[in-house]
Amino acid sequence: MKLQSSTYGGQQIELIMDIERDSTGNWWLCLWGTPIGYWPSDIYNEGALTYGADRLSWGGEIYDSSGTGGFATLTQMGSGHFSSEGYTKACYVWNI
């Protein structure tokens, strides 16, 4: 599956993502309805996610391979712009 990128100030690409739990307790990450990976049920060791969830959180990381060892980087995440600049200038999330 080849992913396209949005363009700053131009065409925006929507990523339709879903996380589902199957009947065996595995959690699946799907893009556009296609499973692309999963978290197997046995990693939860009978913990809370073994039985379900009522919320989801996510974040991001930046890695700079230019010699900093990945630390103290000034690399921007995404476009590096704030949403106050308007549509096509920064990431947005909707329909959660």
All residues at 6 or more sequence positions from 58 whose CB lies less than 8 Å from its CB, including other chains:
none
For the stretch 14-56, pLDDT in tens is 888 889 999 988 999 999 899 999 999 888 887 777 778 888 7
What DSSP string describes 22-73? -TTS-EEEEETTEEEEEE-GGGGTTSGGGT--S-----------SSSTTSS-
Q: Is the pTM of this model over 0.75?
A: no
